[in-house]
Structure 1
Amino acid sequence: MTDSKYEAKLIANKIGPLFKNLRGDRYQIQIVNDNQAKEYTFFFMRQPKNGSMLISPIYQIKEYNLENLEAVLDELNHYYQFTKLYRGFVGELWPSNGNPIQKNKTSEEL
């Protein structure tokens, strides 16, 4: 098992230069479940006020298990508390509490 603190720090370090902290900007982290490649891909999303969404791929977790993903996300919350969007997780449950990770497919997944 990889070190979740180390991976969270790597992700936070990738977000740092992309985070502008400008008034009116919206920030989100999107986590995509790539079950073909058996990995999780992280994207940083920034939408400037009155502008288009800017999406940057920032990290891939190669260890394909939900316990590790959940631990990395918990650690990442120590750095940033951005809204998280999940794609490809319909039907998956968080190991710690049994709650659904993603309730419905997004319009891009249909």
Structure 2
Amino acid sequence: MIDCHRETAIILDRLADHFKKRPRTIYQLSVAWDPYEGGINFFILIHKLGHRQRSIPLHTVKTTELADFETIMTEIKGATQISVVYAGFDGLRWPSSNQLIT
């Protein structure tokens, strides 16, 4: 079992390091399910208008438990207003609401 609060703190710290609030720049959190390595990867996507989009790895959470993932995402969404893009969660559902992860 992982410590969800510690994992969230790591992600939020690294997110804050890259989130500079620059004008004409779009920031997104990308979350990718990796069933082969048994983890969930977090990236920050930075797209300055007129330039290429950059993807910077933030952290990998070594769990495939969707309940742990839901706890981490609830804490991240409570601490930030960054938009989130999910990848690789096809057909998977949030444990608490049974809604598709999109």
Q: Does 1:71 align with 2:71?
A: yes
Shift of 1:39: 0.5
Alignment partner, residue 62 of structure 1 = 62
Q: Give the structure with the higher percent helix.
A: 2
Amino-acid identity (%): 25
Alignment partner, residue 92 of structure 1 = 92
TM-score, scaled relative to structure 1: 0.87
Match of 2:53, as an amino acid?
A: M
Alignment partner, residue 83 of structure 1 = 83
RMSD: 1.1
For residues 38-85 of structure 1, what are the alpha-carbon distances to aligned partners after superposition, in whole Å with 9 as ceiling and x for unaligned? 110011101112211111011001021100001001111233221111
- State how 1:1-40 maps to structure 2 within 5 Å: 1-40=1-40
Alignment partner, residue 108 of structure 1 = none
Where does the alignment leave 5 or more consecutive residues of structure 1 unmatched? 103-110
Match of 2:40, as an amino acid?
A: Y
Alignment partner, residue 106 of structure 1 = none
C-alpha contact 1:4 1:75 (8 A) present in aligned 2 = no
C-alpha contact 1:8 1:76 (8 A) present in aligned 2 = yes
Deviation beyond 6 Å, 4+ runs, structure 1: none
Shift of 1:7: 1.1
- State how 1:31-50 maps to structure 2 within 5 Å: 31-50=31-50
Match of 2:22, as an amino acid?
A: L
Match of 2:50, as an amino acid?
A: N
Between Structure 1 and Structure 2, how many residues are aligned?
Answer: 102
Match of 2:44, as an amino acid?
A: F
